[in-house]
Amino acid sequence: MTRKNQTLGEFIIENQKDFPYASGELSRLINSIRLAAKMVNHEVNKAGLVDITGAIGETNVQGEDQQKLDVLANETFINTLTNREIVCGIASEENDEFITIKGQKNDHRNNYIVLMDPLDGSSNIDVNVSVGTIFSIYRRVTPAGTPVTLEDFLQPGNLQVAAGYIIYGTSTMLVYTTGNGVNGFTLNPALGTYYLSHPNMQFPEDGNIYSVNEGNYVHFPQGVKDYIKYCQEEKEDRPYTSRYIGSLVSDIHRNMIKGGVYLYPSTAKSPNGKLRLLYECNPMAFIAEQAGGKASDGFRRILDIKPTQLHERTPFVCGSKNMVDKVESFMASQES
């Protein structure tokens, strides 16, 4: 159930019964993400002052070292998630290996795994363009009471119990799903409260925006080249509009609201594309499907891929259902 003026805190409590394994742990986990996001938001908003307060890597006026924002965001999320007796393991784009959390009694009793990209698109920070945090949540598969193993992290995306993103944009928003649709909350920075601003978000079934780094065009597979030409053709409803921010969260968020498709295909140099399956593509795919959209590697459903490595990459096509279908049909016609 959703209400106007509902805060994220109220929403979490009121919808707890719909959460998988409604024990309250997942609610507390989402709550801790909400808190960490506020802290990161505070730092991201100050990023433009770095030239005044001291450059990254230098010592600031208080004698503290200035940290890179992505490192700071990583530490903020890890510290917030660690202190709550819910999470047993974290994997992050910023850490080569996963982190094991023993719990306060050192008994490895916690149940949830979090995979995250704490600050995606961070090269955009220097130029005051939106960045985001992406997170994916699973139940562990190894028994509680034992340390987590890689197996707990290498679960296919279709087993996610929750996923979401935070967009640090003109407003800061937290958008997430627990498998009952997608809801978006906007932060009122004066009050530090998130309000339900985008209930039951839905990808339009069709759209007219395509988002891809066309600088890589010559390296794209023929199917993607053909699709791009299709988008540019002069027809009744085309050419489509090209929009590419280079911040996955922002590009997907815009396309979910307006209707569009995001592509990061394989290239001749990177046969698996650039984006990471576990903490970039899977959470976005879960959100896309929950919002009536679709996510694919060009041939198969992202959420059905069985991961083999923590940081593995995959080609990624995500957006309005009919547009992703179209990309897949171009890809299939070029497969020999």
Kindly list the residues in this chain that would bind ligand AHM in the complex (CB under 6 A). Answer: 93, 117, 120-122, 213, 246-248, 251, 274
Length of the chain: 336
What's the closest the beta carbon of residue 227 comes to Mg ion, in angstroms? 24
How many Cα atoms sit within 13 Å of 129 on the Cβ side? Answer: 15
Q: Does 70 bind Mg ion (CB under 5 A)?
A: no
Residue 247 binding target from Mg ion, ligand AHM, none, CB below 5 to 8 Å by type: ligand AHM
What is the distance between the alpha carbons of residues 132 and 119, in angstroms, rounded to a whole number?
5
Q: Count CA within 13 A, CB hemisphere, residue 18.
A: 13
For the bound state, the minimum distance from the C-beta of residue 212 to ligand AHM, rounded and expressed in Å, comes to 8
Find out whether 121 and 248 touch, Cβ atoms under 8 Å. yes
The residue (of 19 and 279) whose beta carbon lies closer to Mg ion is: 279
Tell which one of 25, 94, 117, 289 touches Mg ion (CB under 5 A). Answer: 117
Rule CB under 5 A: is residue 120 a binding residue for Mg ion?
yes
> Minimal distance in Å, beta carbon 137 to Mg ion?
17
Residue pair 137/81 in contact by the 8 Å Cβ criterion: no
Shortest reach from residue 120's CB to Mg ion, in Å = 4
**Alpha carbons 203 and 260: distance in angstroms, whole number:** 8
The C-alpha atoms of residue 319 and residue 255 are separated, in whole angstroms, by 7
Total residues contacting Mg ion (rule CB under 5 A)?
Answer: 2
| Shorter beta-carbon distance to ligand AHM: residue 148 or 281 | 281
Nearer to ligand AHM, 110 or 216 (CB): 216
> Which of the listed partners (Mg ion, ligand AHM, none) does 213 bind, with a CB threshold of 5 to 8 Å by partner kind?
ligand AHM
Contacts with 32 (C-beta within 8 Å, 6 or more apart), sequence order: 80, 81, 84, 86
Identify which range of 100-108, 118-126, 157-165, 177-185 contacts Mg ion by CB under 5 A. Answer: 118-126
Contact letters for Mg ion, residues 223-252 (x by CB under 5 A): ------------------------------
Q: Which of 216, 212, 332, 333 is nearest to 270 (CA)?
A: 216
Task: Decide whether 118 or 204 has the Cβ nearer to Mg ion.
Answer: 118
Query: Terminus-to-terminus CA distance in the chain, angstroms?
Result: 49
Residue 65, SS3 per DSSP: strand
> Footprint of Mg ion on this chain (CB under 5 A)?
117, 120
